[in-house]
A and B are shown apart, each in its own frame.
Chain A
Amino acid sequence: MGQGHAIVDIRKSGDLRKSGTGTMAAMVDGSSLFARHAELLSQVAVADKGAFAELFGFFGGRLNSYFRHLGLSDRESEILVEAVMLMVWRKAGHYDPAQSSVMAWIFSLARSCRIDTSRRQYDGDLIGHDVFGDLADVMAASQIMQSSWQTTAILSALADLPEQQVMVMRLAILDGSSHAMIANELAISVAEVRTQLRVGFHHLRTVLGDVV
């Protein structure tokens, strides 16, 4: 599944923040990137294909990597990348920069696509697709304004946690694995998975205060 290098990435980001001048450079780069993405998305909203291609250049590989991490094949991942990018094209006019970063917005679309796909694997009609369409919207709306310094702070706080706890949080929050799946993968109990998640998240909220 490739969790290993993601953890390395997290630790690198943490080091980056602690290295002082590197932090400032990263924050400036990050901020301008955030602004650039928002600008591109506003151009996509008026059907600018060049802007769309530039966004694809940045997000295509990240989305593909995200879906591949979830254990999907090359082909399945690419189908989902296409689905997300077509949603980006169609819904660009709905994006509100005051609500979330483009990164958070596109990630919420990717997450909705993944949830829809897994839901289609069984009888989703029990409660109703219409209801779950709304549920995905509720979750998408839960994204908050996220700036580059906020991301750096979150990754730095994560890097302070024990390795297994970071792994549990990553599997649960990014990969969307159930508590039972994580317990199985890491050979620990479901209760332990839940404790790790709770304690890890509490640590983030304590360290970050009002950042998140």
Chain B
Amino acid sequence: MIPHYHPRAEWLLSYVAGALDDAQAVVIAAHVAHCLLCQKQVAAGGAVATALFETVSPISPGPQCFDRIMQRLDQGPQPDRHQDGITTKTAGKHGDDRSDLPDIVQQIFDRHKLGRSFDAMPWQFISTGLQGIELSAAHGDSGLWLLKCKGSRCAGYDYHGDQLSLILTGSYVSNDRHFRVGDMDEADDAVMHRPRVIDGEDCIFLAAVSDLIPGKSFLPNFLQRLFG
């Protein structure tokens, strides 16, 4: 899979520096996990960070700092000898909706006990054509949402600040761009997000968004729930 739309460099650099909020970091990490191009960008960002670290003029810590460390070495465990730091990948099973998803997304699904089938997940109505599961609340930062867009009449949502969305299954069209699996749809400055599905298949995406406000529909509320 070669994603077509990527996060801009400023997001990748802040991801490398650990400066993004949790929800944003998860969405970027999930894209990077499957995108060779962004992995190279992240590696380059890491190289720049290390070069900048080398320019820092040393300030010696107090002498007791070294003594305390040596004391802890005497009390603590010996260096860890085993060499494999490689995490095992979840094996894909037949009929498993999730096997192609990045590990970090699978871990979050497991944590929320969401099961292995998208259809069986506890989707909540958000607005016409849009359902969602709130994975983490926005505490002054971005909240993390799993969202499902159905059909071409999605009322979408409004938000304040930034939003980063990563397509997990299906595809949608937004602002005349067609986002497919692995693509990153990023926007800032509080615009409305009105994705539209054009090929009939539901589009499920992971979104880091602050203050998600359900989009207004032309249908009255009770009808929205009926047809949403």
Contacts and interface: CB of A to CB of B under 8 A. Distances in A.
A127 B73 contact: no
Given A179-B14, A197-B10, A6 B55 contact: yes
Contacts of A13: 55
B46 A108 contact: yes
A173 B136 contact: no
A127 B61 contact: no
Nearest to A106: B53
A114 B53 CA distance: 14
Contacts of B8: 194, 198
Given A86-B69, A138-B29, A62 B79 contact: no
Interface of A: 5-6, 9-10, 13, 44-47, 49, 52-53, 56, 60-62, 64-66, 68-69, 74, 77-78, 81-82, 85-86, 89-94, 101, 103-104, 107-108, 110-112, 114-115, 118-119, 122-124, 126-128, 130-132, 134-139, 142-144, 146, 150-151, 154-155, 158, 169-170, 172-179, 190-191, 193-194, 197-198, 201-202, 204-205, 208, 212
17 contacts: A82-B68, A93-B79, A93-B82, A103-B54, A114-B18, A127-B26, A131-B107, A132-B22, A138-B32, A142-B32, A142-B46, A143-B43, A151-B54, A158-B52, A178-B19, A194-B10, A201-B48
Given A126-B136, A142-B43, 14 more contacts: A53-B70, A60-B66, A64-B59, A65-B59, A92-B80, A110-B53, A127-B144, A131-B104, A146-B47, A158-B48, A173-B49, A193-B10, A204-B44, A208-B44
